[in-house]
Every structure is written in C-alpha cells, then in structure tokens.
Amino acid sequence: MDYELRFYSNHQEAIGKGSDDAKLVTGKNGIVTGDVPWEDGEKDRRRCSRPPGQPHSGCNYTSKYGDFVVFNNVIVMCEGKDELESRNTCSNLLSLLITTP
C-alpha cells in the first residue's frame, strides 16, 4: 500500500488548508493531472485505469488515494479503491504509530 504524508505547522493548518488541498486530490473525483495543489509527487498520486479491451496506450488516470485522515499536524492520504478501503488502510497505519505505555 502507498501513503502520502503532508506536514503542517500545526493541527489547525492541517485541518484547514491541508484538508482543503487533500480533498482536491483524493477520492473518485480527485484531480490527478494539471492544476494540482502539490506538484511534487503528482505522478505518484495517480493510477492508470483501463477498461477491459482498451489498448495499453489508453489510460484513464484516477486518484490512487480514496481518502485521507488528519493526524495531529499531518495529512495522511492512503491508497484504496474507495473511501472505505482507504480509511482502513489509514487506520492500519496509524495503529502502528500510536502506542500506549
């Protein structure tokens, strides 16, 4: 599974500007080419989807990340074909990062 993390100065900035930008590039209508909020990593944020029988050269680019979560001052975008799968992917990742004493 792939992840993309975007770090902000604080939680407020992450839930504000960070969430606004993440909403643009995730989900089934995510912008994956052209005018994207973060140019670095743009090509890594998309996947090539082809209907059966479509030639190799024909590609419909879709977002690799079905959704994102905000964790403290970090936007975490997680791979998944839809929102539910992405949230599960994020949950699994965050469970490894959150430890209890």
Per the structure, how many domains does the chain have? 1
Taking only the tens place, the pLDDT of each residue in 67-88 is 999 999 999 999 998 999 999 9
Determine if the pTM surpasses 0.85.
no
Range of the structural domain that residue 72 is part of? 3-97
pLDDT higher for 35 or 20?
20
The two structure tokens encoding residue 55 = 């030639």
